[in-house]
Amino acid sequence: MTDSKWLQFLRHYGPIPRNDNMYDETIQRSARRQKIAPIEFEHPMQDLLLRCFDQRTVDPVSVILTGTAGDGKTHLCRRVWTRLNGDEKAWASDSAYLTLAFRYPKDRKEWPTSNDEELYRQVNIHFIRDLSGWAPQQGGEWEPEKEALLQKFCHSLVNPDANELFLIAANDGQLIESWRRLQQTEEVQRARQLFEDLLVEDRQERSGVRLKFFNLSRADSADLFDRALDAFLNHPGWDELRNLSAGENELFGSRCPIRHNFEILQGALVRSRLRSLLELCDRNGLHVPIRQILILLTNAVLGHTDCKDGLMTAADVPKVIAAGTISKASLFSNVFGGNLPENRRLGITIFDYLERFQIGHETSNRVDNLLIFGEQDDHLSHYFEALVAQDGFYGADPRFYAAKQEYIEGSDEGSDSQTFLDLLVAQRRGLYFKIPREWEEELNLWELTVFKFAGEYLAEVVQPLLKGVAVKRMILARLIRGLNRVFTGMLINADRELFLATSGNNSQAKVSRILLERVSVDPNKGERIALHRDPSNGSILLSVFFTPAIHEDFHLTLIRYEFLSRIALEGALPASFSKECYEDLLAYKSQLVAGLLRRQEKDGVVVGGSSVRLNFLALTEQGMPDPKFVEVAV
């Protein structure tokens, strides 16, 4: 077979060079032409959004959908349109602005059982499904009708009698920028201020304002991944290929890399490891839009270093098999964009994010021993056999064995050691996806990434808190020790209390020897320190309570967890892993000192008197705190 309609269509979702503004249109048009359904799934926020407009609401308000490109804004608008009985053909037109009428209960209390028109009010709902396509060009002026419409929108935010509602889909920056170019009436300015506040503070609404704000960038990337992967794998398009009953060396035959990648992607372990990466992106504040997830999946299955645009076509498969370059289609490398040239790879969000884990480049002695000497080694040979030798597609192939031999024997300098080192990168990536759960600990799976404590973070912190279970004592103790080391600048070993120390004149000094206060971790006289989950956005917080009412929170992202763990366990210097984290922690110390002062004020602590008492902090040989009190008579 010369080509496959499904593969041709699927390619549109891949990392091919394209004009991003036309993304949706291109897919929709291609889908219509090929008579293939686009890859779609229910967005986690879909129901929440529909609820704002359908018969589950008695008093609808306007909605703004924001997010980055590829978050699914247009798609969700269409769902609302369909639910409200909007005309399909009208939607299929290219217009960025559409309107329909719907009726809602006039009394705004409940839906009438009868069809009596008197009991309803007609509402016009304006859909601006792409604000950037509808707004004037850079530096241009608003057309008067559009301007009037938006003024009406601003008015509707505070006016319950308005019979016009709006559903606007816009990128964050575009929203603010467009509002800046409107005539600056008081209502417009207030609206813009509101949008800014909601965006910067990550909130959905403000009391007294008739608006709901959905920021799709706050969606759970791991959840989106689950849904997207199911939709991808279960798409009927794959039937076309399955029905080929191909021969061994043909498209979708037993040696076809596309088929093999497809099957790997269905495996529970691979899925779980990929999902973890996306969850960890979320935990580092990096949100992955749907479009990027689809790029990831498409590239994973179709990627091959040598093919046009880095993606295999139907015709490429037999050639690849014949040339013996199947290993260049490895899903394990494709996941990281290894099949793409560097500058294209770094320009694609998902690959940029996944690159930050440095999978393939990070390693441990154990892993490298396994890969290089495992074949011969008594202890490691069964790992090598199971994880590398038995993988006929992407494990040890003749090329790998040859390069390994060259490398070990070290015959001559030149490019050959580089070849093997590149192959090692690919094998390490493979290991990340292949090491089974029972071997995770002994092979130190997470040392294959730059976040050695990521596995523990997910399993011992995120999961328990999600279920409402407390985090293990040992973990909290470790975090406290890390904090103490950063706050005092010394290799202190205390972990039952938090030591708030300053240098006297600078809250951001590296070494602080003046002890202000010791805050108990276990509940004691109103003080306590705990890890918990913020239900409004799912972030993990470390909270220090000075009294039940006075507390300061620290957002414990993955990178901060890693930072504190390394300092606590390995005695790493704070500035060596991440200067940013270090600064963040010093800022948190400032906050804590302020909190302490608030408690002192409340307690009526008096400063001054006939003597001054100073607490100096020194360490014993074992690194335990050795406080010393000095009293000075004034």
Partner 1 sequence: MRSLPQPLPIPATFDKSSSMWVDEAIWGHRLYDEQSPWMVLLEFLNVFYYEVEKGRGFVEANGLNTLTYKAARRLYLRNILFNNPHLGEIRVRFPHDANRWEQWLERMSSATGLHHPQFAYLKGRFDSFDDFSEVVSLVRSTSLEVNSNKRWTSKFVFPYGQNCLYEDLDNNASTNDRRFFGRTGEILYLMLSRAKRRQELLAALRQSLSKTDSTWDSVIRCLQPSEEEDLSSERANAFLPYAEHPCFDQLAEDWLAILRLNIPGFDVLPHLVNLAGLHLVKYQLSVSRELLGLSAMPIFVCEVVAPKKTLVREISADGYQENNFLPSRAVEAYISAIESSAQWQQALHDHGAFEKCRQLLSERVRWDDYEGPSDPEQLLLAFKQAAMKRHRQHVANIHRNYGRDIGLVSKRGTIKLRYAPNDSLLKTLLFANVERRVELHRFLEKLFQRYGLLFGDKEAGQVLAQGDFDKKAFQANSRRFEQRLDSLGVLKRLSDSCAYVINPYRERMP
Name the site residues for partner 1 (rule: CB under 8 A): 66-69, 171-174, 176-177, 196, 199-200, 217, 503-508, 513-514, 579-580, 583-584, 587, 590, 593-594, 607-608, 612, 614, 616, 628, 630-634
533 close to 543: Cβ distance less than 8 angstroms: no
Phi, psi of 324 (to 5 degrees): 75, 25
Least distance between partner 1 and beta carbon 119 (Å): 43
Q: Which is nearer to partner 1, 73 or 428 (CB)?
A: 73
Q: Which is nearer to partner 1, 28 or 615 (CB)?
A: 615
Least distance between partner 1 and beta carbon 507 (Å): 5
Strand order in the sheet with 164-170: 97-105, 120-128, 164-170, 62-66, 211-215
Distance CA 164, CA 160 (A): 10
Least distance between partner 1 and beta carbon 480 (Å): 22
Q: Which is nearer to partner 1, 473 or 579 (CB)?
A: 579
Q: Which is nearer to partner 1, 203 or 496 (CB)?
A: 203
Cα of 176 vs its chain's centroid, Å: 24
Least distance between partner 1 and beta carbon 200 (Å): 5
Residue 24: Cβ within 10 Å count:
20
Distance CA 454, CA 284 (A): 11
Strand order in the sheet with 528-533: 528-533, 540-545, 551-555
217 close to 67: Cβ distance less than 8 angstroms: yes
Least distance between partner 1 and beta carbon 499 (Å): 17
Distance CA 477, CA 542 (A): 12
22 close to 322: Cβ distance less than 8 angstroms: no
Q: Tell me the β-bridge partners of 212.
A: 63
Rg (CA), the chain: 30
- Helix/strand number for the chain, H first, E second: 28, 12
Q: Which is nearer to partner 1, 67 or 237 (CB)?
A: 67
Angle at 169 between CA 184 and CA 226, to 5 degrees: 145
Q: Which is nearer to partner 1, 504 or 548 (CB)?
A: 504
Least distance between partner 1 and beta carbon 69 (Å): 8
Least distance between partner 1 and beta carbon 247 (Å): 48
Q: Which is nearer to partner 1, 90 or 594 (CB)?
A: 594
Q: Which is nearer to partner 1, 323 or 587 (CB)?
A: 587
Least distance between partner 1 and beta carbon 146 (Å): 20
